[in-house]
Amino acid sequence: MAAFEVPIEVLRLAEALVFASPEPVTPKTLEPLLPRDLDPLFVLEALQRHCADRGVILVQTGGGWSFRTAPDLAAPLREVLTETRRLPRVAMETLVVIALHQPITRANIENIRGASLGQATMDLLLETGLIQPWGRKEASGRPTLWVTTPRFLAQFGLNSLRDLPGAGRAPLQAEGRPKTTAAPSNDSSAADSDGAATS
């Protein structure tokens, strides 16, 4: 069924929602705005076809739908646009560890990295919206568990945690409720001596 078979005012409404939303839009998010006889997933797919030949296209990412620059325009745009400031190396390393082993405690992040983790690094990842707390582990001290967010998926062009390289070798439990058993060691204390958390 062609995109034009969805009323143009519905396509415009869906387009405005995707454009304005800070997170990928899911069918569930769109549903309250639509007439009852319209399937929100069908509307999003129709909008994707409607935008297929434009400079900005609709793609599935982060468990929802977002606008992205058309791939064939990426190279010329890179020549005139300033690249977003990259995360410091220690923050990227920490983010990779969290992404592949989530839900994970701070002490376990340190064990995997083989270095202490400064609070400034965790604060930076929190401020950028790439990680979030995910309850507490049933262990001594009940340390906080950390997971990545939908913004992490969207920023790195992923639709699911399963799309991560090496995901088949890691727990990746954060898409459901976290399992909080089998605590390794004392996760409640960690040194904050990470001087590398600078730009």
Query: Could you list the pLDDT tens digit for every one of the 199 residues in the chain?
Result: 455 589 999 999 999 999 998 888 999 999 999 999 999 999 999 999 999 999 999 999 878 999 988 989 877 877 776 555 578 999 999 999 999 999 999 999 999 999 888 888 998 899 888 999 999 988 888 899 999 998 898 888 888 888 887 665 545 554 444 444 333 333 333 333 343 333 3
3-state secondary structure of 52: coil
Quickly name the fold that domain 89-169 has. Answer: Arc Repressor Mutant, subunit A (1.10.10)
Q: Do domains 3-71 and 89-169 have the same CATH topology?
A: yes
Domain 3-71 indexed as CATH 1.10.10.10: yes
Contact 18, 32 (CB under 8 A): no
When computed from its CA atoms, the radius of gyration of the chain, rounded to whole angstroms, is 20
**Full-model pTM:** 0.52
Q: Where are the domains of the chain?
A: 3-71, 89-169
